[in-house]
Structure 1
Amino acid sequence: MITFKIMDGEIMKALKNFKATAQAIPKEEGCLVKWILEYEKRSQNIPDPVDYRELATKICRDMDGHLAANFN
């Protein structure tokens, strides 16, 4: 399990807090990765930060490629 907490940057102008947690759950072959995004918007008019789902997917694919290249 790994947790990312964003404390500064452009996104924090819209959010009071933002935390992303990735948990690898072992399966017979490989793992299932579960992401949990926790955030609090500064106002209801601000859209949900859905672009971070794409970032989470990219991180998983990059880690998968790294692990496959180094441990197979």
Structure 2
Amino acid sequence: MSRDNDISYFVSFCIEQYKKAKGMDGAETASLFFSSGVASYLADNFDVLHTQSRQWLIEEIEAKIEGRESR
């Protein structure tokens, strides 16, 4: 599998997990991720972020969306 595919799967995983955690639908969540820059952040920092837990990722994503400093 290529690195680009790995990153795409990771961003998709994060969208799905955030969607479930927040009770949102897929289109709404994807739109939020792209408009807030979260999708780019996840892709750009894949090497570090893909090793983190689901809960940690959700908290990190929340911080990014709310404009707080991430960890």
Structure 1-normalised TM-score?
Answer: 0.26
Higher relative contact order (CA 8 A, sep 6+): 2
TM-score by length of 2: 0.27
Greater strand proportion? 1
Which one has a bigger Cα radius of gyration? 1
